[in-house]
Amino acid sequence: MQTLTIDWPDLPAGVGVLSTLRSGGVSAGPYGAGNAHGMAGALDAAVAATRDQVGGLNLGLHVGDDPAAVGQNRRLLLAHLPAEPAWLAQVHGTRVLDLSSEHDLLGPSEADASIASRPDRVCTIMSADCLPVLLADCRGTQVGAAHAGWRGLAQGVIEQTVAAMRASGADQLTAWLGPAIGPKAFEVGVEVRRAFAHLGPQAEAAFTPVPGKTDKFLADLAGLARIVLRQAGVTLVSGGQHCTVSDPTKFYSFRRDQVTGRMASLIWIR
């Protein structure tokens, strides 16, 4: 299994993080590895698992991939974790699940963020262009993860996650922004720009007009998240430099491929 190198200088020593890439699993076809597209197509999933995982590490059961392959990919991931990931049914909303008190690991719950203060809970976000935001209390006592596509980001999923963590006792927070669609690839309409008007004039800099298109802009999703985090009092922010669309060898991208897999960004207390 292959993972992204996470540069997060403020990450507390007692917190673990992991962000998967698209390769290193057993999925084939559009869910396969970017640098070995289709290589596992003729291989049985069990056989592919013994061949240095030449296929894709798709972790999403809802995207049309072979459930057996996804199951094998999830088992490969679990070998690197202290517990089963808390898989959410993400709906581009703002609900935050407190894994320490209410989550049943037998099945996904409809939510777009989770927090935890127990070492046997793994906050997990799946993505393929939307922005995963991982959060940790600087003392290492609380962790959280938010699924910040533009809809959830505009509606307040990050603010809700930060508020939930502080309500559970978190103090100073640090954040890491995972791989997402980058500012040169995310073309949006005026409705998206209007959705962030409540952030004030500073949000205007996150939208660059597309030449020749009066109603189109290139949006900086990570830049908008930084504004939201700063307004929520989170000033220690790392990451945000990896564009899913522009690097097909490393990342799944729904905007680029439509039919594709899902990666995961995870955080837990050790």
pTM across the whole model:
0.91
Q: How far apart are CA 157 and CA 1, in angstroms?
A: 30
Instruction: Tell me, rounded to whole angstroms, the distance of Cα 191 from its chain centroid.
Output: 24
CATH code, 15-269: 3.60.140.10
Residues contacting 147, CB < 8 A, separation 6+: 88, 90, 92, 112, 113, 125, 126, 127, 130, 131, 132, 157
Question: Per residue, what are the HEC states of the chain?
Answer: CCECCCCCCCCCCCEEEEEECCEEECECHHHCCCCCCCHHHHCCHHHHCCCCCCEECCCCCCCCCCHHHHHHHHHHHHCCCCCCEECEECCCCCCEEECCCCCCCCCCEECCEEEECCCCCEEEEEECCCEEEEEEECCCCCEEEEEECHHHHHHCHHHHHHHHHHHCCCCCEEEEECCECCCCCCEEEHHHHHHCHHHCHHHHHHEEECCCCCCEEEECHHHHHHHHHHHCCCCEEEECCCECCCCCCCCCCHHHHCCCCCEEEEEEEC
Query: Can you give the pLDDT at residue 159?
Result: 98
C-beta atoms surrounding 216 within 10 Å: 17
Task: Please give the pLDDT value at position 107.
Answer: 58
Question: Phi/psi zone of residue 239: left (φ > 0), alpha (ψ -120 to 50 degrees), beta?
Answer: left
So what's the pLDDT on residue 34? 75
CA dist 54 and 56 (Å) reads: 7
Q: For 89-145, what is each residue's pLDDT tens digit?
A: 999 999 999 998 755 445 568 999 999 999 989 999 999 999 999 999 999 999 999
The reported pLDDT for the residue numbered 40 is 34
> Residue 207: which of 158, 197, 132 has the closest Cα?
197
Can you give 210-241 as a three-state secondary structure string?
CCCCCCEEEECHHHHHHHHHHHCCCCEEEECC
Residues of the chain where predicted confidence (pLDDT) is lower than 70: 35-53, 102-108
